[in-house]
Each structure stands twice: as structure tokens, then as C-alpha cells.
């Protein structure tokens, strides 16, 4: 049987926004619990922007995917402004609560399109849904009051952030929640070079 891993391509945020997002998530959690909502909350170390979800892939494909991501090295780091809460779906019973990107999202979207094109020859289909850069703060199991009332009055301006690398992650689903393992890291440094294997 061929070994498989559950994987996705993502980017963690650096800068002042990273810490503020953690505080915003904590306040949002208190508001949800007060309103009787039930949700799971990613631990702060797991907060990221998902660029492409791959699902279960053969372990032997990790190398080729890493090589395909190599072209991203010519891109410069991306500066963002993070803020504004939202939900998927946007009305009625949300399944995901998130904080979005106010400025710089277009550049992230362009990079996602490049990732899609580079992986298509490897048999990984392009994403058909529009890309909306965001950081997932909660996965809702049971919602109560209207979504807008949950974050009414909540300051959700996280501020400046930067994406300086793209990472191919393996997701380990455990009883305590997901644990992410870095398989390949690709720096956005505008220089050519080889894909760096993730440190042990």
C-alpha cells in the first residue's frame, strides 16, 4: 500500500498582526462561549493562511511538489494589512469564523494562482472556487445568535503582517486537534536557489 500524507500549502504571518490575531481570537472565543456557540479553536501556533489544500497525497509526491514550488523564490516577501472578521458561509449557520486581509490580498491571490498552475502538471487540479485570503479562527460546530452579534463592538484590526515563506505542511489529526509538520519551506526572497528541506 502506498504511504499517504494529509497535506496543504500555507503561510504563517509575521509581524505585529501575528500576536494581535491571537488576542482577537481569544476575545471572539469568549463572545462565542457567552452566546452558547460550540466551536473548535486552532491553537495560536497553528494560525496561518491556507494557500492550497491538497488532501491525502502519496508521500512520493512531496519532492516533486517542493520542486514545483521552487519558482516562488523569485517573489519578494508580501506585506499585508490584516483585519475584519467574517464567516463561511457568510449568512445563517457559519462553519468557519475568520479574520481577513485588508491590503495585500491581491498579491497573495496572484501567488496562489501561480501555485495552482505549477502543480497542475503533477495531477493536482486547480481550485475552482474564488480564493479569499484569511486566517481561520474557529470551526463552528453549533451556532446560536446571528453571526454579526458575536463580534459586534470587537476591535478586529490586527495591523501589519508579512509573508516571507511558503510551506508545504503535513497535517496530523490527533485527539487534541491538528498538529502541523513542515515538509518543505520556500523563502520568498527574490533570489534563485534550491528548495530547502524543513528542519527536523
CATH number at residue 15: 3.90.1140.10
Cell match 497573495: residue? Answer: 108
35 in Cβ contact with 149 (< 8 Å): yes
Q: Alpha-carbon distance 26 to 177, whole Å?
A: 17
Among residues 101, 102, 99, the alpha carbon closest in space to that of 151 is found at 99
Q: Considering the domain boundaries, does residue 196 fall inside one?
A: no
**Region label for 92, one of left (φ > 0), alpha (ψ between -120 and 50) or beta (otherwise):** left
Q: Could you tell me the maximum CA-CA distance found in the chain, to the nearest angstrom? A: 53
Q: Which domain does 26 fall in, by range?
A: 4-191
- According to the model, what pLDDT value does residue 150 have? 83
Per-residue pLDDT averaged across 177-194, rounded? Answer: 81
Q: Considering the domain boundaries, does residue 162 fall inside one?
A: yes
Cell match 496561518: residue? Answer: 48
Among residues 43, 52, 44, 53, the alpha carbon closest in space to that of 19 is found at 44
- Residue predicted with more confidence, 67 or 174: 67
- Residue predicted with more confidence, 91 or 4: 4
Q: Alpha-carbon distance 5 to 98, whole Å?
A: 26
For 129, phi then psi, to 5°, come to -85, 150
Total structural domains in the chain? Answer: 1
- According to the model, what pLDDT value does residue 197 have? 44
Provide the grid cell at 115: 501555485
139 in Cβ contact with 61 (< 8 Å): no
> In the predicted model, is pLDDT for residue 1 greater than 70?
no
pLDDT band of residue 184 (cuts 50, 70, 90) is very high
- According to the model, what pLDDT value does residue 90 have? 72
Q: Alpha-carbon distance 137 to 83, whole Å?
A: 12
Three-state DSSP at 16 gives: helix
Query: What 8-state DSSP symbol labels residue 113?
Result: H
Amino acid at each position: 500500500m502506498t504511504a499517504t500524507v494529509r497535506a496543504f500549502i500555507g503561510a504563517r504571518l509575521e509581524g505585529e498582526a501575528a500576536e494581535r490575531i491571537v488576542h482577537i481570537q481569544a476575545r471572539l472565543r469568549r463572545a462565542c462561549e457567552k452566546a452558547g456557540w460550540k466551536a473548535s479553536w486552532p491553537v495560536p501556533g497553528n494560525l496561518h493562511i491556507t494557500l492550497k489544500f491538497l488532501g491525502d497525497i502519496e508521500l512520493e509526491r512531496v519532492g516533486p511538489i517542493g520542486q514545483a514550488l521552487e519558482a516562488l523564490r523569485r517573489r519578494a516577501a508580501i506585506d499585508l494589512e490584516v483585519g475584519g472578521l467574517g464567516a463561511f458561509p457568510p449568512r445563517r449557520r457559519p462553519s468557519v469564523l475568520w479574520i481577513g486581509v485588508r491590503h495585500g490580498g491581491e498579491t497573495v491571490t496572484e501567488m496562489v494562482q501561480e501555485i495552482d498552475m505549477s502543480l497542475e502538471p503533477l495531477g493536482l487540479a486547480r481550485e475552482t472556487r474564488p480564493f479569499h485570503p484569511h486566517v481561520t479562527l474557529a470551526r463552528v460546530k453549533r451556532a446560536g445568535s446571528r453571526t454579526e452579534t458575536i463580534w459586534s463592538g470587537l476591535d478586529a484590526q490586527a495591523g501589519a503582517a508579512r509573508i516571507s515563506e511558503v510551506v508545504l505542511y503535513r497535517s496530523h489529526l490527533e485527539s487534541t486537534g491538528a498538529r502541523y509538520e513542515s515538509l518543505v519551506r520556500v523563502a520568498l526572497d527574490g533570489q534563485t536557489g534550491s528548495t530547502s528541506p524543513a528542519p527536523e
